[in-house]
Every structure is written in structure tokens, then in C-alpha cells.
Structure 1
């Protein structure tokens, strides 16, 4: 667009348009190159940061793996120690149970022998008591019989003889 002598604008010529387009094209190319350079710089920065981040991740993974190995070893050692302790306690309890069982069996046998001895003694005492009672009863009966029928003092037999009139088998 050009200004005419009277101060109005006239239509631009083809050459002017080409020049404008070329200048705009150069500006766009310059801007595109600058934009490409910025994108490349950003891309390089991102690549560098990505590589650094990858390195950090790898170091963290190595540390985690090292900690896992260490923990695995610790866990295995604690497991072995606990297993040993459990076995030791089981053996100790087993031996204690066996000793307790043996002691209890011995005491049961002792109590059983004592009960058998007491049964025999009670059986003997029962026999002796019955025998003594029988002897006492027989003695009492013999004494009563002697007193009533065979004594020199007037007893039941003497009274019977007086009443019936029998004396020494003769009626008098």
C-alpha cells in the first residue's frame, strides 16, 4: 500500500506485496528457527534431566535391593535363631514332661501299694474284729448259760426245779 500525492492510499503493487511477503517469510523463518532452537534446548534439558532422573532411580533401586538383601539375611538369621529356640524349648518341655510323668507314675504306684497294704490291714482288722466279737458273744452266752443253769446260786434252773418239783431228774 502506498500513499498517493493527494494523501490517500493506493493499492499496493505486486512487487511491494512480494517484498512484504518475503520480509514476513524471513521473520517467520527467523522466529521458527528461534523456536526450533528453544525446543532443541528444552529437549536437551529434558533429556539431561531424564538421564539424571534415570540415574537417581537406578541408585534408589540399588539401595532398595541392598536393603532388601540385608533384611532378607536378617529375617533368615532371626528365623533360624527362633527355630533353634523353639526346638530347645520343645526338648526342654518334653524332658520336663517325661520327668513329671515318671515321677507321677512312681507316686501312683506308691499310692497303689499303700492302698493294697491298707486293704490287707483293714481285711485283717475286720477278721480280727469279727473273731473277737464272735468270741465275746460265745463267752457271754456260755456265761449266761452257766449262770442260769449250772450255778450254785439259785438261778433260773433252780427256780424251774422248785416249781416243777424235779431235782436231779427225780420228782420229789
Structure 2
């Protein structure tokens, strides 16, 4: 049974996306197109109630695109399934990082992709310029850490990292009003 739980955890987004797509298609074929359009919001509501997880901007955009004519709906469905696979990969890597960092920090570490849709290293630079610590773990995922009030943590040194972006000390603003930041590399 633990293997089944691990498989579900590692492929949660793909399972939800595939099941909701099939349910939506089935309802549409049965002539209930209104109900078919409500499947994704219903899945999001249940996911929020159970996991406190909200759909991101891209999920919502793909949903809206899927409401358009069938060519756009097909493109949105295919893109959504691929995005689900990426989300699952990110979640699996994030669980590894949280486990490696351990308590009490693990609950406050997040993937840079959850902060912004920019490239992860660009998001990490932005986080450092705003006063936070962001790093690339050896599994390739860029992450950052916040405190209990969801403020960026400036001086955290992770246990496992390849690259760290942090504000420079003494703290000094650049010409754009952001903090100057520094890169630390292990290689």
C-alpha cells in the first residue's frame, strides 16, 4: 500500500488532470456541456478544501482557453496535461528538498515557480533583490524560504545547494530601489 500512496503523490496532478478531462469529455458527449465546464472548478474547490492548494495563473488561463472553440480546447487540454506532468515533477523535487532541510524549515520552503512564472533563476534573482534567500538544489529545482509571517529570509544557508542568491551585506539598494545581491556557487 505505501507504493500506491507514493505513486499517487508523485503523479497527483496528472491523475487529477486526466480524470477531470475524461469526466468533462464524457459529460459533453452525453449532452451536458454546462456540467462539463464545471468539472475543473469543482476539482480546484476539492483540492483547496483537502490540500489548501489553489490553481495557478496558468491553470486558470488554460481553463478559459478550453472554454473557446474546439481547436483551442484541444490545445489547452494537451498543454494542461503536459503542465500537470511538470507540476508533479516539481512537487516531487520539492518534497525531497523539504525532507533534506528538515524541521522546522521544511514547511517554509517553496519552489520559485510558485512565486512567479518567470524562469526560475530570474525569479531567484528577484527574491534576492527583495531581501530573500533562493537556491538551486542538487536535484535542479530552484527554491526559496520564508518565515512564519511569509517574509523572505535573508540569511538562510541550506544544507544542500549548488547556487545561492542572497542580499549582499551590508545591505545596500541598487539604482532601482532593490537590494544588491550576491551569488555563491559550490563548483
Q: TM-score, normalised by structure 1?
A: 0.20
Q: Which has the higher strand share?
A: 2
Identify the structure with bigger relative contact order (alpha carbons < 8 Å, sequence gap 6+).
2
Q: TM-score, normalised by structure 2?
A: 0.18
